[in-house]
Amino acid sequence: MTRPRRRRRSLALLAAATSLALTGAATGPAFAEPAPDAPEQVRNGDFSDGTSPWFTYGAGPIGVSDGRGCATVPGGLANPWDAGIGQEGIPLVAGGEYTLGFDASATPGTAIKAVLQLGSAPYTSYFAVDATAGTTPGRIERTFTAPADDARAQLIFQVGGSTDEQTVCLDNVSLRGGEPAEPYEPDTGPRVRVNQVGYLPSGPKNATVVTEATEPFAWQLKSAAGTVVASGQSTPRGVDAASGQNVQTIDFSSYRTAGTGYTLVADGETSHPFDISGDIYDQLRSDALQFFYIQRSGIAIDGDLVGAAYARPAGHLDVAPNKGDTNVPCQAGVCDYSLDVRGGWYDAGDHGKYVVNGGIATYQLLNTFERTKTAASAGGGTALGDSTLRVPERGNGTPDILDEARWELEFLLRMQVPAGKPFAGMAHHKIHDVNWTGLPLAPEDDPERRELHAPSTAATLNLAATAAQCARLFAPYDAAFATRCGTAARTAYTAAKANPTKYAPASDSTGGGAYDDTNVTDEFYWAAAELYLTTGEPAYLTDLTASPHHTADVFGARGFGWQGVAALGRLDLATVPSGLPAAEKTRIRASVTVAADAYLTELRAQAYGLPMPGDADSYFWGGNGNLINNAVVLATAYDLTGEATYRDGAVQAMDYVFGRNALNMSYVTGYGEQAAKNQHSRIFGNQLDPELPNPPAGSLAGGPNAALQDPFAAQLLAGCKPMFCFVDDINSYSTNEVAINWNSALTWIASFLADQGDGAIAPHGACRVDYVDYGLWHGGEGFTAQVTIRNTGTTAIDGWTARFAFTGDQKVREAWTAKVTQSGATVTAKNESYNARITPGETVTFGFNARTAGGANPAPGLFTLNGAACS
């Protein structure tokens, strides 16, 4: 998730645009005079509301001094366009008459140029004014006629090129003229709002109708042929607070016949078409994960895998014009070394890489895989195994989802401070460009110098937590990498405890998001939990149980994200097998179901079915990711209990994401009749350059943001009701960006949804398993265990196959009274001829010896018999 920030345009493109300007007082179309009542097009031109939406590039941040907007510009810049102060989203109307005016001063004094220009390539100049700014503010006013229509022009004050450092100040910046902006009216399509992807045959099926009616009305479900297949009456819900709409809801869950092209007809409106099917989410599982490969840094993206439109050379590997990531120095004063920090994923719409956001995204991919070891509906992970994804590592014997997570893990490990250096073992907070770059910009074309930013406690604990996960999950596939991860995790945790309050500053936001966080108690809890689950060591158990988060409610009403990660530790403690006492496990698991119960209560109260409150505070930057994380909690409660109400809540929560919302908009590219496709991204810039692609299918938009934290949204959506505070435009980075932590949430829930098949709740098997570990042998190199299976049903079992998964590196060496094989962490035991039949009430037992290099060795969390889960 990208924090609030200001964008700048590519210096090279700015140079190309402004090099066309003629010298003189003003360049552009002939002078004209706007009407006396012409509207003002510049926002906050007098800086009375602070500095938003103004931004700088090549200069220090803009601040308010004596009521003026001022910035420090370094001396020695070669060109005027090497530094600037600007504002985006300026509307121009072709033939419109405008007056541009501003007060400017500079100490000790410099030439400046005000340029109105196209806000994207080729950055054509519409009008320019040259001026000399001295120590006393002077007023400049010029009139002109706009030569073109442009709703998103830039006003840039070019302030570079002086030999001396300058303090440049602006005030009373004004652009009067043109026509008043037309009120923005989103195209919301039919008033019947449905999940445009579809519904599971045996799952919940709900819709919302925007209407003036206050009494129930009839609805009809129609097949693709137009046949009415179900009907009923709506339920009035009154005015929905988040949208301001009077609405009614429809529940057609009782209809369970699979098919395509269904529509719902109500109140004279027909919904977008949708399917009813058990496989509607299968492709989404793949596509949501595919996003990460296309976001990779430091590797060429193979069009044969993902489509020619997404093929590109490797970015940031020191190939001109890149300055590269293989030998990156620190910011001035931070360190005296450079690091090879290639690889990883580009965080969001920019080319930055941030450890704290990479941490939660990596966790969710790893946890998506780890869930396959413990969730009865996960099918043992076959859908996430090797050669299931379109990644270059397919076919290497490792599950593809782990291969994808490893690409980021390798980057996170490279961000660790080397031994012998100050803060050794900690992790640098982030690495990104020195200055903001413009839209669009392919990674391989980024000309900016890259910098490492100071280590932080939060980043260090993210490394500790994810590396600990890595150590146990990669152990069956790559023991050396797992060991490397485990060592890094321990080192990072120790370094964080030695430096518990080294925080990333909020002010460090030039060229990249700050990702600041001054409360890291949650990160300590999460890291201690992961290290305990991996190692089983008492020291980590002591730390996690001493944390205030261990007994606190860590599941907030508005979900969890990168800045609040205690929920990650709690979810893993609830699901990953461990040596915790039974009573403690019960308490921890109950905390998940209590949170899920609260989300269900909220979901039922919301006319659009969201497990989040309906106030403006619930619609924030990246809120779609947090909402999905609440669905993750509901899904986890189902995995823990098998209770259908939790599964149905998770499924229904996703209706909002796929179109059951006020905008009738699916927030996932390629999914739904009306879906977001212009997310803010430098890579996927089709809206600005038709030769570039839209984001790939499976890309999640951040979603409505009532704070309107970018100038485009602020101008277009002022006064919006929270659920309407979204626009599918590349310029709206605060509502419509892509980000790895949002797509990781989508990945987790997409995998869960795909696992549900047609939505029928699979009954538990008529069996019970007792697992006994008889202890270590060969000086701790291995252990002996026995599994007893009891038939708790009323009919005999003729032939059986039992499966379970280890948590780490355990490997069966030999077994008795069953044919035992192992693939990765998964053990499969099949009956011998003499013990194939288990009559009701009887048991069968098999045992094995296994090797292990150490670490936690709890009893497996899930046993299945002939595919059904045993108690």
The tens digit of pLDDT for each residue in 627-646 reads 999 999 999 999 999 999 99
Spatial separation of the C-alpha atoms in residues 644 and 638, rounded to whole Å: 7
Reported as a pLDDT band with limits 50, 70 and 90, residue 17 is very low
Which sign, positive or negative, has the C-alpha torsion 423, 429, 430, 434? negative
- Residue from 245, 434, 276, 375 nearest 758 by CA: 276
Beta carbons within 8 Å of 199's beta carbon, 6+ residues apart: 205, 274, 275, 276, 280
Residue position matching structure tokens 């490997």: 811
Can you give the pLDDT at residue 542? 98
Averaged pLDDT score across all residues of the chain: 94
Reported as a pLDDT band with limits 50, 70 and 90, residue 6 is very low
Pairing relationship of beta strands 274-276 and 198-199 according to DSSP bridges: parallel
193, 660 contact by CB (below 8 A):
yes
Exposure on the CB side of residue 205, measured as CA atoms within 13 A: 26
Can you give the pLDDT at residue 225? 98
Pull the structure tokens for residue 10.
Answer: 């590519």
Spatial separation of the C-alpha atoms in residues 109 and 600, rounded to whole Å: 63
Reported as a pLDDT band with limits 50, 70 and 90, residue 868 is very high
Q: Which residues pair with 230 in a beta bridge?
A: 221
Pull the structure tokens for residue 182.
Answer: 């037309």
Beta carbons within 8 Å of 391's beta carbon, 6+ residues apart: 293, 305, 400, 403, 404
Taking only the tens place, the pLDDT of each residue in 491-524 is 999 999 999 999 999 999 989 999 999 999 999 9
Which residue out of 351, 432, 550, 680 is catalytically annotated?
A: 680
Can you give the pLDDT at residue 764? 86
Reported as a pLDDT band with limits 50, 70 and 90, residue 110 is very high
358, 469 contact by CB (below 8 A):
no
Taking only the tens place, the pLDDT of each residue in 151-190 is 889 999 999 999 999 999 999 999 999 877 678 899 999 9
400, 477 contact by CB (below 8 A):
no
Can you give the pLDDT at residue 27? 60
- Residue from 343, 341, 293 nearest 315 by CA: 343
844 sits in which H/E element: strand 843-851
DSSP state of 680: B
Spatial separation of the C-alpha atoms in residues 14 and 78, rounded to whole Å: 14
Mean pLDDT (whole number) for 761-790: 93
- Residue from 633, 625, 669, 666 nearest 649 by CA: 633
Can you give the pLDDT at residue 439? 85
Spatial separation of the C-alpha atoms in residues 69 and 510, rounded to whole Å: 17
Phi, psi for 20 (deg, rounded to 5): -85, -15
Beta strands in 729-842 (DSSP E): 767-777, 782-791, 797-798, 801-805, 811-816, 819-823, 826-830, 837-838
AA identity, residue 447: P
Is it the case that residue 717 has pLDDT exceeding 60? yes
Is it the case that residue 14 has pLDDT exceeding 70? no
DSSP state of 521: H
Give 33 or 734, the one with higher predicted confidence.
734
Reported as a pLDDT band with limits 50, 70 and 90, residue 365 is very high
Give the three-state DSSP class for 601. Answer: helix
191, 265 contact by CB (below 8 A):
no
Long-range contacts from 841-845, C-beta under 8 angstroms, 24+ separation: 841/790, 841/791, 841/792, 842/790, 842/791, 843/788, 843/789, 843/790, 843/791, 844/788, 844/789, 844/800, 844/817, 845/786, 845/787, 845/788, 845/789, 845/817
What are the CA-CA distances from residue 189 to residues 220, 274, 662, 672, 818 (Å)? 18, 15, 10, 13, 60
Can you give the pLDDT at residue 475? 98
Beta carbons within 8 Å of 194's beta carbon, 6+ residues apart: 207, 264, 271, 272, 274, 655, 659, 660
Give the three-state DSSP class for 173. Answer: strand
In percent, the amount of the chain with pLDDT more than 90 equals 88
Specify whether 350 is catalytic: yes
**SS3 per-residue string spanning 55-111:** EEECCCCCEEECCEEEEEECCCCCCHHHCEEEEEEEEECCCCEEEEEEEEEEECCEE
DSSP state of 176: E
Give the three-state DSSP class for 116. Answer: strand
Cis peptide before 329 (omega within 30 of 0): no
Surface-to-core class of residue 442, CB atoms within 10 Å of its CB (0-12 exposed, 13-18 middle, 19+ buried)? middle
Is it the case that residue 357 has pLDDT exceeding 90? yes
Mean pLDDT (whole number) for 535-554: 98
Is it the case that residue 12 has pLDDT exceeding 70? no
Is it the case that residue 28 has pLDDT exceeding 80? no
Can you give the pLDDT at residue 180? 72
pTM score, whole prediction: 0.88
What are the CA-CA distances from residue 346 to residues 67, 257, 291, 324 (Å)? 38, 42, 11, 14
Beta carbons within 8 Å of 565's beta carbon, 6+ residues apart: 359, 360, 363, 462, 465, 522, 523, 526
Can you give the pLDDT at residue 715? 83
Residue position matching structure tokens 């009067």: 176
Is it the case that residue 30 has pLDDT exceeding 60? no
Taking only the tens place, the pLDDT of each residue in 734-766 is 999 999 999 999 999 999 999 999 999 888 899
Query: In residues, how long is the chain?
Result: 871
Is it the case that residue 4 has pLDDT exceeding 50? no
Can you give the pLDDT at residue 375? 97
- Alpha helices (H) in 474-581, listed in sequence order: 479-498, 521-535, 538-546, 566-575
Can you give the pLDDT at residue 20? 27
Specify whether 549 is catalytic: no
- Residue from 90, 87, 86 nearest 146 by CA: 90
Specify whether 737 is catalytic: yes
Pull the structure tokens for residue 49.
Answer: 């509301």
Can you give the pLDDT at residue 122? 81
What are the CA-CA distances from residue 66 to residues 157, 171, 368, 549, 763 (Å)? 20, 10, 53, 45, 71
In percent, the amount of the chain with pLDDT more than 70 equals 96
CA 823 to chain centre: 32
Specify whether 728 is catalytic: yes
- Residue from 385, 520, 383 nearest 465 by CA: 520
Which residue out of 523, 737, 755, 809 is catalytically annotated?
A: 737
Can you give the pLDDT at residue 9? 31
Which residue out of 82, 88, 130, 350 is catalytically annotated?
A: 350
What are the CA-CA distances from residue 282 to residues 579, 630, 751 (Å)? 35, 21, 8
Which residue out of 130, 710, 728, 755 is catalytically annotated?
A: 728
Give, to the nearest 10 degrees, the angle between helix 566-575 and helix 521-535: 20
Give 777 or 693, the one with higher predicted confidence.
693
Q: Lowest-confidence range among 135-144, 257-266, 491-500, 802-811?
A: 135-144
Reported as a pLDDT band with limits 50, 70 and 90, residue 34 is confident
Mean pLDDT (whole number) for 845-854: 96
